[in-house]
Chains A and B, each alone.
Chain A
Amino acid sequence: MNVLNSFMNSRIWGRGATALNPGLVLAVVVVFIALSFISPYFLTATNLLNVAKALVIVGIAAVGETLVIIAGGFDLSIGSTMAAAGMLAAYMLDSGFGVAAAFCAAIGLGMSIGATNGVLISYFRINPLIATLAMLAIIRGLAFVISNGREIVITNQTWLNLGTGKLAGIPYIVLILVLVYLAFLLLLPRSTFGRYIYAIGSNARAARLAGISTQRWRLLIYITCGATAALAGLMLAARTGNARPAAAMGFELDVITAVILGGASLKGGRGTLLGTAIGLILLFMINNGLTLAQVPSFWQQVVKGGILLAAVLYDELRRGRVDDG
């Protein structure tokens, strides 16, 4: 028991805002080992790649959401942004544009939606929940109005290959996910952007008094979130082979679950991208493993909810103990 306590309180998990939840890491290890015994199909290279492919879409969108939540904000419009970005790119390809132009336009659309969120929240001081909820409805509604609910089947092979192709046995979409995480993991600790996200999320007033332009940085954070959501939308369309105005409905909840599970605080100022990545792995490993174990889908939801609650509860108790101590 003492060994476990020492392990849990070890310095390797970091300190303060960027600390990882050792309970989460332990949960990943325990679930991984348990599923390896429960299902003979779980611990195979193909299946582990299946887990990776399944988490790519939520994973990319979760990068931006993590930054927003650490900065004390919230973005409920990412599902709509994903759908709109996929629809725009598909529509442009159908209209004769090239893949590069279509993708750039889609990412640009995501950044514009993020910028609108950022302006509403930073400059008009609208509550992030309300502002992004409104954007969720507006963007989704416009996607339906323009397309009249119809989907676009993607025929462009370059785009489809992103969803089905592999490099040295690893799916392209998994490589893209890894690149996105590596880029942000390397950028954040070394940049003003990374430091200010924590400063704004911990105490926006103090950050402002320290000379940080919180409005401009918040705007940039939401723009980043819009861009990653758009990229996730493009990957979703690549994986399913179609773009739909109703795509990614409810994805917000999966994304936010992964971010919170990863240790980010809804109060802001705390969380890590690495934590989000581990949260994602736990969530999707459970999805995959419970299905392989033939657990009925309703029970899967119960189990997932229970694990989320247990992980967050453990983290709160542990931090409370640390804070009290």
Chain B
Amino acid sequence: MLSLTSTIRLMTKVFLGATVLVPTAFAQDFEARPKGGIPGALLPEERSLWVYDTGSRKFEPTEGDASAAYEASPRALPDGTKVGFAEGWAAIPFSYAINQRLYELAGELGFEVVYCDNAFKADQAVTCAELLVQQGADVVIESNWQSGAAAAVMNIFNEAGIPVMSVDVVHPNAIFLGADNYASGLIGGQAAAEHAKALGRCDDVTVLVGINPGEGEAANERLSGFVDGVQTVCGALPADRIDDELIDAGTTDQALTVVTDWLTAHPGAGFVLATAIDDPRGFGMSNAIAQAGREGVAVGIGCDEVGVAATRVPVKDNHFLGCVAYFPEKYPDYAVSIAADILEGKAVPQEVHLDHVFLTEESINDAYPAE
């Protein structure tokens, strides 16, 4: 018998088309199949090359192959160039890493950064767009992570004729720079499942993902990738062993609370494999598993300061298996390279995706040496 909450959730999912993460097959063998056609998660063969047209104030498709990996070559920008940077949220480590590296590059290459903190708020993102235009930005790195405000933000930049690249969330008429969302989730899911398999717990796995539809469909692909990644190793799971919970505040404490409650409500969940959109939320999930004395692990996505620090701790102590590295400190190198291409009138792939690696306690020091 379904509880009232379950019934409401089921009805809203059915009638409102809400996020539903279900396995694509129930057979033992499982083949991961990334969905095509999702902006921000386009398959390589679906991508085009774009050139910014100052007349129409739009990126226009041009001839050429956009499927190859983009090679970042940060270099000096034209004299007096102002790079607008609307930061996602200065309060989180992932964003901090991008911020630090961008200012380093500005010092090395001699361009000016005009800055505004979007603070993870839609209305603030709109205000920041107005302020960057006001200060005469020539090109903008837009980290607005409220996908619903993307059109409002871009209306402002389009009207001013400023080319934009958006970080991790798709914006219309902007170059997408960010994660290969599905692939990163897949890597994390496979690592988590390999851990379960090594402990002989594949048959007992329950998958929990922390969703936030507000961050857009592309971000949600990380979670779909994670679910598929687990199943490529442990085999297809029945629907009742895959669940999702809303974790929309972007914080560790909310993830801890939500997952603690979820674990209480699911005493029969065996070996829990959990993840969310980023490290702080993944860390909150692992804390919940550890504090509840339950079996399972969580993985982080991004490898920001939280993810790296949590990965250094033995998994038996904090149930945090590791993190999928996004290398946020590399984003500015790509962004400045793309900015140079745009300002020089060169073609750029409409989506530039970074490579990802799963880091564990054993490998974390190779990528991020302990100080």
Interface, chain A (partner B; CB < 8 A):
41, 44, 46-47, 50, 53-54, 57, 144-153, 163-164, 236, 239-244, 246-247, 249, 288, 291-292, 294, 296-298
With A149-B211, A236-B123 as known contacts, state yes or no: A297 contacts B90, CB within 8 Å.
yes
Residues of B near A54 (CB, < 8 A) are 123, 127, 130
Query: A294 to B248, alpha carbons, bound, how many Å?
Result: 29
Residues of B near A294 (CB, < 8 A) are 114-115
Interface residues on B, range: 35 or more
Closest 7 CB pairs of A and B: A242-B148, A148-B18, A297-B117, A241-B152, A240-B122, A148-B12, A151-B148
How many pairs of A and B residues are in contact by the CB < 8 Å rule?
Answer: 103
What does the 1/0 interface line of B136-151 toward A look like (CB < 8 Å)? 1000000000111101
Q: Are B152 and A163 in contact (CB under 8 A)?
A: yes
**Max count, chain B CB within 10 A of own CB: residue among A146, A239, A246:** A246
Query: A322 to B136, alpha carbons, bound, how many Å?
Result: 49
Nearest Cβ in chain A — how far from B56, in angstroms? 20
Query: Is B119 engaged at the interface, CB distance under 8 Å to the other chain?
Result: yes
In the complex, the chain A residue whose C-beta lies closest to that of B132 is A291
B-side binding surface: helix, strand, loop or mixed? helix
Residues of A near B19 (CB, < 8 A) are 148-150
Query: Is B135 engaged at the interface, CB distance under 8 Å to the other chain?
Result: yes
Q: Are A153 and B148 in contact (CB under 8 A)?
A: yes
Neighbour of A150 across the interface among B16, B131, B155, CB < 8 A: B16
Q: Are B152 and A296 in contact (CB under 8 A)?
A: no
Q: Are A146 and B12 in contact (CB under 8 A)?
A: yes
Query: Is B214 engaged at the interface, CB distance under 8 Å to the other chain?
Result: yes
Nearest Cβ in chain A — how far from B337, in angstroms? 24
Residues of B near A164 (CB, < 8 A) are 152, 155
Query: Is B3 engaged at the interface, CB distance under 8 Å to the other chain?
Result: no
Q: Are A145 and B12 in contact (CB under 8 A)?
A: yes
Residues of B near A50 (CB, < 8 A) are 127, 130-131, 134
Neighbour of A292 across the interface among B12, B134, B147, B149, CB < 8 A: B134
Residues of A near B122 (CB, < 8 A) are 240, 242, 244, 247
In the complex, the chain B residue whose C-beta lies closest to that of A144 is B246
Query: Is B231 engaged at the interface, CB distance under 8 Å to the other chain?
Result: no
With A239-B123, A294-B115 as known contacts, state yes or no: A145 contacts B16, CB within 8 Å.
no
Offer 20 A-B interface pairs, CB within 8 angstroms, sorted by A: A46-B134, A50-B130, A50-B131, A54-B123, A57-B123, A145-B8, A146-B12, A148-B9, A151-B147, A153-B148, A153-B151, A243-B148, A244-B122, A244-B146, A246-B249, A288-B131, A291-B115, A291-B128, A294-B115, A298-B90
Query: Is B310 engaged at the interface, CB distance under 8 Å to the other chain?
Result: no
Query: Is B116 engaged at the interface, CB distance under 8 Å to the other chain?
Result: yes
Nearest Cβ in chain A — how far from B14, in angstroms? 10
Q: Are B115 and A240 in contact (CB under 8 A)?
A: no
Residues of B near A148 (CB, < 8 A) are 9, 12-13, 16, 18-19, 213, 246
Query: A140 to B271, alpha carbons, bound, how many Å?
Result: 33
Q: Are B152 and A149 in contact (CB under 8 A)?
A: no
Query: A50 to B127, alpha carbons, bound, how many Å?
Result: 7
Q: Are B123 and A240 in contact (CB under 8 A)?
A: yes
Residues of B near A288 (CB, < 8 A) are 131
Query: Is B126 engaged at the interface, CB distance under 8 Å to the other chain?
Result: yes
Residues of A near B13 (CB, < 8 A) are 148
Neighbour of A296 across the interface among B12, B90, B128, B130, CB < 8 A: B90
Query: Is B212 engaged at the interface, CB distance under 8 Å to the other chain?
Result: yes
What does the 1/0 interface line of B152-167 toward A look like (CB < 8 Å)? 1001000000000000
In the complex, the chain B residue whose C-beta lies closest to that of A287 is B127
In the complex, the chain B residue whose C-beta lies closest to that of A44 is B134
B203-219 contacts to A, CB under 8 A, are: 211-214
Residues of B near A244 (CB, < 8 A) are 122, 146, 148, 214
Q: Are B119 and A297 in contact (CB under 8 A)?
A: yes
What does the 1/0 interface line of B214-254 toward A look like (CB < 8 Å)? 10000000000000000000000000000000101100000
Neighbour of A240 across the interface among B114, B116, B148, B248, CB < 8 A: B148
Residues of B near A41 (CB, < 8 A) are 134-136
Residues of B near A297 (CB, < 8 A) are 87, 90, 117, 119
Q: Are A241 and B149 in contact (CB under 8 A)?
A: yes
What does the 1/0 interface line of B65-81 toward A look like (CB < 8 Å)? 00000000000000000
In the complex, the chain B residue whose C-beta lies closest to that of A56 is B123
Query: A243 to B214, alpha carbons, bound, how many Å?
Result: 10
Q: Are B152 and A47 in contact (CB under 8 A)?
A: no
Residues of A near B152 (CB, < 8 A) are 163-164, 239-242
